[in-house]
Amino acid sequence: MRKILIYITAGVLLLCIGCNNWLDVRPQSQVKEEDLFESASGFQDALTGIYVLMGRAEAYGGQRTMGFMDVVAQTYSYVDYNYEDALVYNYKSDAIKTLIDTMWSTNYNAIANCNYLLRNIAEYGDVMSERLRSLIEGEALALRAFLHFDLLRGYAPSYKMGKDEPAIPYVREITNAPVAQSTVSQVLAYILEDLEKAKELLEPIDPIGPSFADYTEEDEYEVDDYITDDGFWLYRKSRLNYYGVVALMARVYLYKEDMSNALTAALEVIHSGRFEFITDAIISSESYYYSYMESIARHEYIASLYVYDLKKGRSDLFFKNLAEYECLIESARKSSIFDGMGLDLDIRSKHLFAVPEGTSNEYVNKYMTGTQIPLLKLSEMYLIAAEASGDISYLETLRSYRGYATQPLPAGADLQQELQKEYQKEFIAEGQLFYYYKRQNLSSIPFTSQTMNRDVYVFPVPDNELEFGDFK
């Protein structure tokens, strides 16, 4: 790992990776590490900074969700020329190589932030209350696991392809030495180790967790603890909260093909009572104050990223005529995704598309209102429960809330086929569909004649990592 300069800009922790030593002269907007962590608020700013970094357009605020990751999943029928090589999996083109390299470096940059934060918690954490310390440490561990998991899903063989093959470095400390690759199985073990510790730390103190009788995301709070530490305990669904950790464990266990633990984790979230599917009654009662997507976020998101300029800074980059990374689901593609009849029945078909002002095309509108990008959702827990248990009733429950209450699946329906259809509908512009195809090791996927194999499913590691890192 190269040396890292840590600095604050507008109250946000960021990292610049470079080859220089620590700078002796700092601009006014920069704060050295020992200054940052001399107070509890410094630790809060540091954690917030990791989420802000993840919310950038080159990370989960764009390419890892609505952009590149859904282009390679063939979600879109038309893309801007910047993405044309991605549609045919030409990862060597300059534009696509830059995107893939940047996704790698951004995640490891955020991981370095997590490791700096964790190191300073160990050294200077006594400036915080025990409760705040547990919260920040738990979230930092969970974020480190989350970030590594997506690096694993992108840049290594899937568990089904080769669980004992070299994967990625799992970086757990600040070091100048290259970190060797671990195998796929080893990385998954490290991820689950971090998540287990995060769960243990968050369970007794997280307001959204099982130790509290109830939780609300409303503007008015009755529990005094929610508004301590300058409101740092508010809006837990916009962070990796306790149930976000459990939901991520369900996702990881499923990837590891540990169906028993995947089901246990998914059911813990489902039965928590903290999340609910949106209904017509909810939509009607909230329509004056919230858009459809804002209501979805309030009720169904388990963990998400807050992005204050979501429409202008993100949605308009991808879902607008002549946008920088224009992505379009044309009518024939939409009809195929929603299987004809679903165009009229499915609430996603009816609510998740709109014609922006100044254009005649209909675009995905998930990010045209609100401030949240989903990381984990209630719907995924039902999909995991169905796959892990083999019980199609979990899938039927999800479908009933999405508009198919009067149109149950036919007797003898193939669960895996129906799950694939649901992933195509449920995760539009969220970056999860490609990972589903890869986890299943499918040799063909909808809307492309490309044979899906290792060369397609495994993104190339940046050249400088191969040259200077510890890769086999």
CATH of residue 376's domain is 1.25.40.390
Which residues on neighbouring strands pair with residue 353, listed in sequence order? 364
Phi-psi region of 348 (alpha: psi -120 to 50; beta: other; left: phi over 0): alpha
pLDDT in tens, 363-413: 999 999 999 999 999 999 999 999 999 999 999 999 999 999 999 999 999
Looking at residue 9, its pLDDT comes to 33
Looking at residue 441, its pLDDT comes to 96
DSSP H stretches of helix in 60-216: 68-71, 84-87, 94-124, 130-155, 159-162, 184-202
Q: Environment class of residue 264 by beta-carbon count within 10 Å: exposed (0-12), middle (13-18) or buried (19+)? A: middle
- Closest among 351, 352, 421 to 386, alpha carbons compared: 421
Could you give the number of structural domains in the chain?
1
Looking at residue 11, its pLDDT comes to 35
- Closest among 100, 104, 113 to 52, alpha carbons compared: 113
Look at residue 89 and give its three-state secondary structure: coil
Looking at residue 234, its pLDDT comes to 86
Separation CA 243–CA 208 (nearest Å): 8
Residue range of the domain that includes 356: 4-468
Type of residue at 226? Y
- Which of the residues in the chain have pLDDT under 70? 1-34, 217-230, 467-470, 472
Looking at residue 342, its pLDDT comes to 85
